[in-house]
Amino acid sequence: MPARFRVEKEGYSTFEGAPFGVRLTVRLFREDEIPNGMVYVPGGTAEFGAADPVPLEGFWIDKYEVTNREYKAFVDAGGYRDDRLWPEGSDRSAFVDTTGRPGPAGWALGSYPEGQDDLPVGGVSWFEARAYAAWAGKSLPTVFHWRLAARQSIFSEILLWSNFDAGGPVSVGTSGGIGPNGTYDMAGNVREWCFNSAPAGRCLRGGAWNDATYMFGNITQADPFDRSVKNGFRCVVYGDEADLPEGLFDPYAPESTRDLREEDPVSDDVFEAYVSQYAYDPLPLEASIDARHDDNEDWVREGE
């Protein structure tokens, strides 16, 4: 089990998070100061490879991915009919369930299968995620805010407790994959829409239950109309969105690949020093065969 921190103080909401190789800064809030269902991410910098770090002020982010139950409240409230919630260019006639009613791609008759209340909603386009966020008085996170919330440093431990390589999503918060700021399921379960556009559409983060684990650290691009069942989201609340630097909402430009053919080669002495790091004593392996089974015409098995 990875190390977890719990910080308690009378009169304040309890903080719980897992550091995963990063330095934790904990700020406690009274219950009435916390937006419902959200956790606080202290200010810091988001870094992508060799690009300059992006400074960010503190903000609030959903503790869990938006669930079927929460999204149905948006549907039932007429969210698909409210023009004020939808960005320009969104063709809502395409955003219907399997029976032609407004709703995510995998729903039927305007609802999700029984017993899946707490599963993260999937099968939504970027436009649907953006409309829900507006209805809830929130926003979709930029790729920079998402990264700061996930705090991807030594993240091999969180992968062990996250929903990857499984048959489908699980109820939010049940996988054990808690992050440094108290968020759950930022790795795996469903991949999450972010605000920023990209050359191939819009950005998603975190990877889904059937993705390779390295997708937690990658940025996926997809058409904003894409309604894969893998597509979910969570929302953020900024202190004052008008005060955020405009560049945070600009299109995301993937990092250029370093061309090693353009690098100057090291000297022979430096190369020999590199080689010595991979040297090993040339001792005999002394391998032995304990048993051999060749009674099958298709293969031979060696060992017990």
Q: Indicate the range of 107-111, 163-167, 254-258, 264-268 predicted with least confidence.
A: 254-258
pLDDT in tens, 200-224: 999 999 999 999 998 998 899 999 9
**Confidence band (pLDDT; 50, 70, 90) for 85?**
very high
pLDDT at 156 over 70: no
Give the pLDDT confidence score for residue 236 in this predicted structure.
97
pLDDT at 140 over 80: yes
Say what the pLDDT of residue 249 is: 87
Q: What is the mean pLDDT of residues 250-270?
A: 78
Level-2 CATH architecture, domain 5-249: Alpha-Beta Complex (3.90)
pLDDT, tens digit, 9 for 90 and up, residues 243-252: 787 788 888 8
Residue 131 in contact with residue 84, Cβ under 8 Å?
no
Least confident of 97-106, 199-208, 282-291: 282-291
- Can you give the pTM of this predicted structure? 0.81
Domain borders along the chain are 5-249, 261-302
Question: Could you read off the pLDDT of 124-135 as tens digits, one per residue?
Answer: 999 999 999 999
